[in-house]
Amino acid sequence: MFKFEIIKKSKRSKARVGKVYTNHGVIDTPMFMPVGTQATVKTMSPRNLNEIEAQIILGNTYHLYLRPGNQLIKNAGGLHKFMSWDKPILTDSGGFQVYSLAHKRKVLECGVEFSSHLDGTKHLFTPQKVVEIQQDFGSDIMMPLDECVAYPCDKKQVEESVNRTTCWAKESEQSIVNSAQNGALFGIVQGGCFQDLRKRSAEEIAALGFPGFGVGGLSVGEPQNQMFDMLDIVTDILPEDKPKHLMGVGFASDILGAIKRGADLFDCVIPTRLARHGSFLTLEGKTSIRQSRFEKDFSPIDPDCDCYTCKTFTKAYIRHLFWAREILAMQLLTIHNLRFFIRLMAKVRKEILDEN
């Protein structure tokens, strides 16, 4: 069922408009996907997500494996039925979460051994197990186990992570159970900020023939220009007719620059996390609703935004809710922040389609 169609290529950059066809619907690209770490996008119901026109969400394999468990989700009929979301779902491998819990894990040649952050129990993620977990979820797009390294990082360590990521990608591909109901497994490119390692990783992963690709190990502290340089290298090598997901990037300037360099899909917790801490997003950047200047501001967050928050409420009211510690404040800011990115993606698609 999985297919990627390029509708139009930009004449000014590597940007393009496309469609990703999955078992649970079509995704227009470029597209930003809200992050639903634990089978929910924080403060948002599926109805909220449909109202902001979200086309795909991301789930987290590490967290969902630990709680409630992949077997329970499988018994519920898969992740879509479990959370009442009937559109596409991408699940990551959990590799980044394991990487971020450095003091709780040990990288082995066969996989990653880690201690649960919930109860300290020991677990082992192997390439095969991570694919099996995601197949239990019924994910539309699956990510293989990979090794993400920190920035900055010693080149020898990055080279070892590239070797391991390629090896695990091969094992992941071999463990796929072919079925029309199963999702597509993407390959992931690593390589840190070393040009030769990025090039090598992209060549090795591209050679495996995955239907799509993730670009990992970026947006981990490196300067924006380095991220763009690495992405340029990767997208020049990966097959043009396959979708490319730049993982974990969530600021507007980063996403817009990445689209020009050939990236199609994006995800990040930034819009929901900022909302929970009282900040809203516009093209000018992030702004805190807590500021005293908004106390008597009866204008919407963004008069040009068509989201429920901006059409219905004022800055003064949302500020009041936030200082009163009302949950509604977080939900209203989340609605706006996610809609901001989805509107931005629609604007970019229109600009490319309107090019002469």
* Residue 248 marked ligand-binding: no
* Residue 191 marked ligand-binding: no
* Residue 154 marked ligand-binding: no
First CA to last CA across the chain, in angstroms?
33
Sign of the CA dihedral with 201 first, then 252, 272, and 289 last: positive
* Residue 110 marked ligand-binding: no
* Residue 217 marked ligand-binding: yes
Cis before 211? omega within 30: no
What angle, 0 to 180 degrees and rounded to 10, lies between the N-to-C axes of helices 252-260 and 327-353? Answer: 20
* Residue 310 marked ligand-binding: yes
Burial of 122 (0-12, 13-18, 19+ CB in 10 A): exposed
Q: Are strands 213-215 and 25-29 parallel, antiparallel or unpaired?
A: unpaired
- Compute the CA torsion angle 284, 288, 292, 293 (nearest 10 deg): 20
* Residue 167 marked ligand-binding: no
CB atoms within 10 A of CB 277: 13
Residues annotated catalytic, as ranges:
92, 267
* Residue 146 marked ligand-binding: yes
* Residue 86 marked ligand-binding: no
* Residue 307 marked ligand-binding: yes
The binding site for Zn(2+) consists of 305, 307, 310, 336
The binding site for substrate consists of 92-96, 146, 190, 217
The binding site consists of 92-96, 146, 190, 217, 305, 307, 310, 336
